[in-house]
Amino acid sequence: MIEGGRLATVVVPRSALEAARDTEKADYLTCAVVDYVNEIQRVGVYTGRELPAVAMQAYHADYYLAQVNNGGHSQFIGNTGIAMLPTTSGDALAGLKAMGASAQHQILREMMAWVEEHPGEAALQSGFGKRAAALNALDRRFYEAERQQPITELAARWIASWPELHAVAQEQYASEIERLAQLHPHRSHRRIWRSVHRISFQMTDSLQITVAAACGAVAPEPELKLMVLPGSNMEVAGQQCMAFGVKTDKGSRLCVYEEAGGQLYEYGPGDQRPRPAEMHEILKSFPPPLVGARLSVVEADTIRNFSRIAEQNLAAEAIDLLLGKSDLDPAAQITALRVSDDWAAWYAITGQTCVMVATLGDRADFVGSDGKAALTVTRAEIERHAAEAAAGRDSMRIQA
């Protein structure tokens, strides 16, 4: 049931509720609430403000605990981000107060006061490097408070008292989540928006489209981009640059990302595993990245042209629509193949299936192995799909 714009039910497995009666297993119940929040947002496309308030309070209190335990208040601030900090901390504060974690509640209040007084220094926090001394002092108090009265035990007792809590058998859990998901009036449009946005991000985000184009530029056969990994400053071909790990259908790669464009390199060529006699040297420091041959170069103008055509021809909406019509998972990875002044060709990899898509001004085609259109959607169909995605996006903005 939805009451006042929010779901009125929190579903957890009965086994988690029963296990949490033992304080040593209190985390079973707190983890169950975290799982519920993640799952109902994934399946039902609910926003946090549309879930039971207590669920979000427990969720963010648990997040706060995990972040501080892992890297202190500095990491909590850095991983949350200044923009989201008031909302996340507000939920956590409400949860800590409701469960009776008074010491941790006071510490978090002091942290928020420090952030307001030191916005510049707060924006630099990450849990690594230079950490604010004031936050380190809060960390020590927090760890002592946790030794005295752990949040997880207090949270489990609080959660077990919720009138919103609905415990079900494990085998009924998925169907109950699906039932609640179907209550959302904007679910279908939001699902379209989520899948379109996932594709659009890969076509318009500067890093993502650079990697996608660099993979597509490999000759004589393009490589299929499967994943973009974190990057760092490193030496590649004798130059210091920003390089990101990439997984393709051919293995591990590095993509140099710079204003001039992108370059794709082999990563870890040949068998370079250290011999036992060398291990003492390896252990002295981290070994340098093993960068092999350069596979492709793609210029900034080409990258920008891919993004321009993607927006102009509604490429993300077109690909999502074609995947749906073909009963393929819309969670596709995109490789940029060719681009001209008015069209572009892409590979979309979904599950074990790879399809080529041509996005033109008046239509989009699935291109078969014979080079001919195997399935076509018209511009009118694409625009209707785009309108549904926009409706889903706008409904999320209203509720955010």
Using one digit for the tens of pLDDT, what is the confidence trace for 72-84? Answer: 999 999 999 999 9
Condensed to tens digits (0 to 9), the pLDDT of residues 119-145 reads 999 999 988 878 999 999 999 999 999
Q: What does the pLDDT read at residue 130?
A: 82
Would residue 233 count as lying in a domain?
Answer: yes
Q: What does the pLDDT read at residue 239?
A: 86
Using alpha carbons only, what angle is made at residue 249 by residues 244 and 255, rounded to the nearest 5 degrees? 20
pLDDT band at 288 (very low <50, low <70, confident <90, very high): low
Condensed to tens digits (0 to 9), the pLDDT of residues 195-240 reads 999 999 999 999 999 999 999 999 999 999 999 998 988 888 888 9
Total H helices, total E strands in the chain: 15, 14
Would residue 104 count as lying in a domain?
Answer: yes
Taking residues 184-193, what's their average pLDDT?
Answer: 94
Question: Which among 167, 184, 201 is the end of a domain?
Answer: 184
- C-alpha span between 48 and 41 (Å, rounded): 8
Q: Is 322 a residue whose pLDDT tops 90?
A: yes
- C-alpha span between 39 and 9 (Å, rounded): 13
Would residue 264 count as lying in a domain?
Answer: yes
Residue type, 313: N
Q: Is 23 a residue whose pLDDT tops 50?
A: yes
pLDDT band at 286 (very low <50, low <70, confident <90, very high): very low
Q: Is 301 a residue whose pLDDT tops 70?
A: yes
User: Exposure pattern of 169-204 as b/e (b: 16+ CB <10 Å)?
Assistant: eeeebeebbeebbeebebbebbbbbbbbebbbebbb
User: What count of Cα atoms within 13 Å lies in the side-chain half-sphere of residue 296?
Assistant: 25
Name which of 101-105, 208-212, 234-238, 287-291 the model is least confident about: 287-291
- C-alpha span between 364 and 379 (Å, rounded): 8
Q: What does the pLDDT read at residue 278?
A: 44
- The CA-atom distances, in angstroms, between 2 and each of 8, 50, 159 are 6, 9, 20
Would residue 212 count as lying in a domain?
Answer: no
Same domain, 35 and 108: yes
Q: What does the pLDDT read at residue 397?
A: 79
pLDDT band at 167 (very low <50, low <70, confident <90, very high): very high
- The CA-atom distances, in angstroms, between 42 and each of 37, 190, 344 are 9, 11, 31
Q: Is 269 a residue whose pLDDT tops 70?
A: no
pLDDT band at 279 (very low <50, low <70, confident <90, very high): very low
- Dihedral angle computed from the Cα positions of residues 116, 117, 119 and 122, in that order, rounded to the nearest 10 degrees: -90
Q: Residues 83, 118: contact at Cβ < 8 Å?
A: no
Query: What radius of gyration do the chain's Cα atoms show?
Result: 25
Question: Which among 159, 184, 209 is the end of a domain?
Answer: 184
Same domain, 89 and 178: yes
Q: Is 275 a residue whose pLDDT tops 50?
A: no
Taking residues 338-365, what's their average pLDDT?
Answer: 96
Same domain, 151 and 53: yes
pLDDT band at 270 (very low <50, low <70, confident <90, very high): very low
CATH of the domain at 129: 1.20.1420
Would residue 197 count as lying in a domain?
Answer: no
Question: Which among 279, 298, 317 is the end of a domain?
Answer: 298
- The CA-atom distances, in angstroms, between 338 and each of 213, 223, 359 are 8, 13, 11
- C-alpha span between 233 and 240 (Å, rounded): 7
Q: Which helix (H) or strand (E) element contains residue 226?
A: strand 225-236
pLDDT band at 398 (very low <50, low <70, confident <90, very high): low
Same domain, 287 and 310: no
Condensed to tens digits (0 to 9), the pLDDT of residues 26-39 reads 999 999 999 999 99
- C-alpha span between 125 and 115 (Å, rounded): 10
Same domain, 124 and 261: no
Would residue 223 count as lying in a domain?
Answer: yes
- C-alpha span between 202 and 228 (Å, rounded): 10
Same domain, 269 and 317: no
Condensed to tens digits (0 to 9), the pLDDT of residues 108-123 reads 999 999 999 999 999 9
Helix (H, G, I), strand (E, B) or coil at 207: helix
Would residue 207 count as lying in a domain?
Answer: no
Same domain, 258 and 350: no
Percentage with pLDDT > 70 across the chain:
94
- C-alpha span between 346 and 105 (Å, rounded): 51
Residue type, 53: A
Q: Which helix (H) or strand (E) element contains residue 345?
A: strand 344-350
- C-alpha span between 335 and 318 (Å, rounded): 15
Would residue 195 count as lying in a domain?
Answer: no
- C-alpha span between 253 and 248 (Å, rounded): 7
Same domain, 222 and 86: no
Number of domains in the chain: 3
Same domain, 133 and 97: yes
- The CA-atom distances, in angstroms, between 230 and each of 86, 258, 292 are 27, 15, 19
Same domain, 293 and 317: no
Domain of residue 394: give its range.
306-399
Same domain, 168 and 134: yes
Name which of 230-244, 276-290, 345-359 the model is least confident about: 276-290
pLDDT band at 382 (very low <50, low <70, confident <90, very high): very high
Same domain, 290 and 339: no
Q: What does the pLDDT read at residue 129?
A: 79
DSSP string of 244-264, one letter each residue: EEEEETTEEEEEEEETTEEEE
Q: What does the pLDDT read at residue 281?
A: 44
The pLDDT mean for the chain works out to: 92
